[in-house]
Amino acid sequence: MHYVSVEGLTKSYGIQPLFENISFNIEEGDKIALVARNGTGKSTLLRILAGTETADEGKVWVNKDVDVVLLEQEPSFIEDKSVLDNIFFHNHPIINAIKEYELLEDEQGDPEKLSNAIMKMDDLGAWDFDAKVKQVLGKLNIHHLQQPVKNLSGGQRKRVALAKTLIDIGFEHKHVLLIMDEPTNHLDVEMVEWLEHYFDKENITLLLVTHDRYFLDAACNEIWEMEGSNIYVHKGDYQNYLEKKTARIESDSASIDKAKNTYRKELEWMRKQPKARTTKSKSRQDNFYEVEKKAKQQIVDEQVQLNMKMNRLGGKIAELKKLYKSYGEKILLKGFDYTFKKGERIGVAGKNGAGKSTFINILQGIEQPDSGKVNIGDTVVFGNYSQQGLVVKEDMRVIEFVKNIAEHFPLASGGSLSAAQFLQLFLFDPDKQYTYISKLSGGERRRLHLLSILFRNPNFLILDEPTNDLDLPTLGVLENFLSEFPGCLLIVSHDRYFMDRLVDHLFIFEGDGIIRDFPGNYTQYRQSVLNGQQLAGNIMDDSKDLGEKATIEHPTTTNSQKRQLSYKEKREFEVLEKEIADLTKEKVTVTQKLNNGNTSFDELQQLSLRIGEVTRLLDEKELRWLELSEIQ
CB-facing half-sphere around the CA of 457: CA atoms within 13 A: 21
pLDDT value of residue 562: 46
Residues 254-258: contacts with CB under 8 Å, at least 24 apart: 255/294, 256/294, 256/295, 256/297, 256/299
- CATH 3.40.190.290 matches 2-77+164-236: no
Min mean pLDDT across 38-52, 101-115, 491-505 is at: 101-115
Burial degree of 431 (CB within 10 A; 0-12, 13-18, 19+): exposed
Q: Rounded CA gap, 430 and 396, in Å?
A: 16
pLDDT value of residue 295: 53
Min mean pLDDT across 31-45, 60-74, 306-320, 617-631 is at: 617-631
CB-facing half-sphere around the CA of 120: CA atoms within 13 A: 17
CA angle 217, 62, 86 (to 5 degrees): 70
Residues 6+ apart with CB under 8 A from 89: none
Most confident of 90-99, 109-118, 364-373, 521-530: 364-373
Min mean pLDDT across 160-164, 172-176, 517-521 is at: 172-176
Conformation bin of residue 52: beta by default, left when phi > 0, alpha when psi is -120 to 50: alpha
What is the per-residue DSSP string for 314-331?
Answer: -S--EEEEEEEEEETTEE
Which residue, among 47, 54, 39, has the nearest Cα to 70 in the 3D structure?
47
**Are the C-beta atoms of 104 and 110 separated by less than 8 Å?**
yes
**Are the C-beta atoms of 58 and 17 separated by less than 8 Å?**
no
Q: State the pTM of this model.
A: 0.69
**3-state class (DSSP) for residue 245:** helix
CA angle 335, 504, 629 (to 5 degrees): 90
pLDDT band at 556 (very low <50, low <70, confident <90, very high): very low
Which residue, among 506, 519, 515, 501, has the nearest Cα to 629 in the 3D structure?
519
Residue 11 host element (H or E): strand 2-13
Which residue, among 318, 317, 342, 347, has the nearest Cα to 516 in the 3D structure?
347
Q: Rounded CA gap, 77 and 83, in Å?
A: 9
Q: Residue 339 pLDDT more than 90?
A: yes
Compute, in degrees rounded to 10, the torsion defined by CA atoms 144, 149, 150, 153. Answer: 70
What is the per-residue DSSP string for 376-411?
Answer: E-TT--EEEE-TT-----TTSBHHHHHHTT-SEEEB
Q: Rounded CA gap, 246 and 252, in Å?
A: 10
Q: Looking at residues 406-412, what average pLDDT do you find?
A: 78
**Are the C-beta atoms of 453 and 447 separated by less than 8 Å?**
no
**Which is more confident, 119 or 14?**
119
**CA 470 to mean position of chain CA atoms:** 6
Parallel, antiparallel or unpaired: strands 31-35 and 205-209: parallel
Min mean pLDDT across 282-296, 502-516, 591-605 is at: 282-296
pLDDT value of residue 545: 40
pLDDT value of residue 252: 66
Q: Rounded CA gap, 357 and 273, in Å?
A: 70
Strand partners, 338: 320
pLDDT band at 410 (very low <50, low <70, confident <90, very high): confident
| Tens-digit pLDDT profile for residues 254-265 | 766 665 666 565
Domain 318-530 is classified in which CATH homologous superfamily?
Answer: P-loop containing nucleotide triphosphate hydrolases (3.40.50.300)
| Tens-digit pLDDT profile for residues 415-430 | 788 888 888 877 788 8
pLDDT value of residue 591: 77
Q: Rounded CA gap, 380 and 490, in Å?
A: 14
**CA 108 to mean position of chain CA atoms:** 41
Min mean pLDDT across 356-370, 377-391, 406-420, 478-492 is at: 406-420
Q: Looking at residues 390-413, what average pLDDT do you find?
A: 82
Mean residue pLDDT of the chain comes to: 80
Q: Rounded CA gap, 548 and 544, in Å?
A: 12
Which residue, among 130, 126, 100, has the nearest Cα to 115 in the 3D structure?
100
pLDDT band at 571 (very low <50, low <70, confident <90, very high): low
